[in-house]
Amino acid sequence: MGMSTGGGSEDGMMSEINVTPFVDVMLVLLIIFMVTTPMMTMGMNVNLPRAAAPSMDVPDELVVIGVTADGQYFINEHAYPLEELLPKVKNMVEMKPDQQVFLKADGAVPYEKVAALMALCSQAGVQKMGMITQPGDATP
């Protein structure tokens, strides 16, 4: 009645699990996720001026920041020069940090001005931003 201290079975096969392939796969997945995660968080969601989308719940205190076709900027129907928008939006965010802002732009406004409004809202600290569109079919 002898005891075996070799760590294996009588026929010479190892009874240990080889985890090297598992570790290799996990490291590859880790690298893939590290590379793709920043790509998913960068960028902005943009809706076209006409969209067939369901309506959103509108908050009680609706804040609309927009630009007209002739280049005038406004907050809730009050016109302001572009230079005055940032301090006013910052003040709104300081008073109510979870304030949702809706962007409204005429269809003839160049995308550059809409992007400038979005950047301005981001600089002011707006966390929730939506776009106001006309209901209907999207046109190419």
Phi/psi for 67 (5° steps) reads: -140, 135
5 in a structural domain: no
CA distance 26 to 108: 50
For the question of whether the overall pTM of this predicted structure is more than 0.85, the answer is no
Q: What pLDDT band is residue 35 in, cutting at 50, 70 and 90?
A: confident
Least confident of 41-45, 71-75, 104-108, 135-139: 41-45
CA distance 94 to 75: 16
Inter-residue contact 106 to 68 (CB < 8 Å):
yes
- The SS3 of residue 30 is helix
Rounded to an integer, what is the distance from CA 117 to the centroid of its chain? 16
Is 60 exceeded by the pLDDT of residue 49?
Answer: no
Is 60 exceeded by the pLDDT of residue 104?
Answer: yes
99 in a structural domain: yes
What average pLDDT score do residues 120-126 get?
87
What type of residue is 81? P
Tally of domains within the chain: 1
54 in a structural domain: yes
67 in a structural domain: yes
For 131, the domain range is: 50-135
